[in-house]
Amino acid sequence: MPLPYRTRLICAGAALLGTVHAVAEAEELTFVSQGGAYQQAQSEAILLPAAKALKIDLRQDSSPKAYPIIKTQVESKKVTWDVVDLPTGDCLRGEKEGLFEKLDPALVPNAAQLPPQLRDDYSVGYISYSTVLAYRTDAKGHPAPKTWADFWNTQAFPGARSLRNLPRPTLEIALMADGVAPDKLYPLDVDRAFRKLEQIKPHIQTWWTSGGQSAQLIADGEVDMIQAWNGRITAVQADGAPVAFDYNQGVLETNSLCVLKGTPHREAAMKFVNEAISAKLQAALPQIIDYGPLNPKAFDTGSISAERAAQLPSSPQNMARQALLSAQWWASDAGEQAERRWLTFVQAK
């Protein structure tokens, strides 16, 4: 997932790997996320307040590649993690492999506030970010690109281009460039998407592989337009680079919360998940960092101004203009086949 940069200082008392001692003899719980600025922001906005409200002794761990560790813990029956924040696709994969507890609706009633496509029996949507079309505003002699069809139109919109070296959500982008509406993408027409990508492939200067690389490419003017994460672009803008983007035809991606199978703190873990997706705490996160809440009621709390909501990927007005990436489709056999086909595509001359 992208590592956003728009953060503010967090007091040392909320140290990332520290412990919140709510009360003596409180039940312990370990929460795991990806670390860095993202987890620091979570800690201040969501994790520490949730632990305090529930009188839980919260410990935190971080791992950018948590899935293999989760699998080892569950299969060895030595579970030391309780709640994990993962890309939604990893939650779905873990469900298939029996790595997560089925959520008890009585313990996670806030899940009912999420749209059906953002929750299931084993996981609940937690945060969101978007892949967007970003462009240099100092390019001369042509209008600014507004759609993926513009990105593909190299005559009307000349300039160097970059796409991500990953099929997800690059295939979705290609289909929108070919005229497919954002709400009509799934199941993906993979053949059509690759045909469209073959058209733009000769014009792609760089297939980027990290969020930092994408930010550098557009900030330094090495490319004129790029597929990038919204948080990376807002960081570039904050640094003064002449770069802009719009959520039109963006692709909204999500992270979800899951509870490890076999946790000795099952009830406390589910109560913690419920608190973390509450409207109040969800609304606190975008005050610190450019991730969008997934509980729609967060936008009704009064904590998120209209100006701030316009900047967030999951605000109602911005979600209506984007595609919601289907982690379910990418976790299917068709999605796995598309992943394998991508390797052949990018390696072929």
**261 plus 234 within the same structural domain:** no
- Give CA–CA dist 262/216, Å, rounded: 43
Task: Give the amino acid at 196.
Answer: K
pLDDT score recorded for residue 25: 59
6 inside domain: no
CATH code for the domain of 136: 3.40.190.10
In angstroms, the Cα distances linking 261 to 69, 102, 258 are 13, 8, 9
With 50 as the cut, is the pLDDT of residue 6 above it?
A: no
Over residues 128-162, the pLDDT tens digits come to: 999 999 999 998 878 899 999 999 999 999 999 99
7 inside domain: no
103 inside domain: yes
Over residues 53-78, the pLDDT tens digits come to: 999 999 999 998 899 999 999 999 99
Over residues 283-294, the pLDDT tens digits come to: 999 999 999 999
Residue from 205, 193, 192, 202 nearest 167 by CA = 193
In angstroms, the Cα distances linking 268 to 26, 42, 147, 236 are 11, 19, 46, 40
Over residues 265-317, the pLDDT tens digits come to: 999 999 999 999 999 999 999 999 999 999 999 999 999 999 999 999 999 99
The size of the chain, in residues, is 349
The SS3 assignment for 185 reads coil
**92 plus 180 within the same structural domain:** no
Under 8 Å between Cβ of 43 and 85: no
**343 plus 215 within the same structural domain:** yes
Scanning the structure block, which residue is given the tokens 């312990």? 28
**315 plus 341 within the same structural domain:** no
Over residues 182-208, the pLDDT tens digits come to: 999 999 999 999 999 999 999 999 999
- Give CA–CA dist 162/200, Å, rounded: 10
With 50 as the cut, is the pLDDT of residue 345 above it?
A: yes
Under 8 Å between Cβ of 287 and 215: no
4 inside domain: no
pLDDT score recorded for residue 349: 73
**118 plus 133 within the same structural domain:** no
34 inside domain: yes
With 70 as the cut, is the pLDDT of residue 19 above it?
A: no
DSSP per residue, 283-340: HHGGGTSS-EESSGGGGGSS-S-HHHHHHSTTSHHHHTTSEE--HHHHTSHHHHHHHH
**113 plus 53 within the same structural domain:** yes
Name the strand (E) or helix (H) holding 68.
helix 67-76
**192 plus 225 within the same structural domain:** yes
Expressed as residue numbers, the domain containing 47 is 12-128+253-323
**80 plus 109 within the same structural domain:** yes
Residue from 129, 10, 99, 83 nearest 277 by CA = 83
With 50 as the cut, is the pLDDT of residue 16 above it?
A: no
Over residues 252-264, the pLDDT tens digits come to: 999 999 999 999 9
3 inside domain: no
Exposed e or buried b per residue across 161-193, where buried means at least 16 C-beta atoms within 10 angstroms of its C-beta: bbbbbbbbbbbbbbbbbbebebeebbebbbeeb
48 inside domain: yes
State pTM to two decimals.
Answer: 0.86
Number of domains in the chain: 2
**337 plus 212 within the same structural domain:** yes
DSSP per residue, 113-142: GS-GGGB-SS-EEEEEEEEEEEEETT--SS
With 70 as the cut, is the pLDDT of residue 116 above it?
A: yes
Q: Which pairs from 167-171 meet CB under 8 Å and 24+ separation?
A: 167/338, 167/339, 167/341, 167/342, 168/325, 168/330, 168/335, 168/339, 169/131, 169/251, 169/253, 169/323, 169/325, 170/197, 170/227, 170/342, 171/197, 171/338
241 inside domain: yes
Under 8 Å between Cβ of 178 and 196: yes
**166 plus 287 within the same structural domain:** no
**206 plus 303 within the same structural domain:** no
pLDDT score recorded for residue 110: 98
Work out whether the CA dihedral 103, 109, 111, 116 comes out positive or negative.
positive
**61 plus 75 within the same structural domain:** yes
- Give CA–CA dist 144/248, Å, rounded: 13
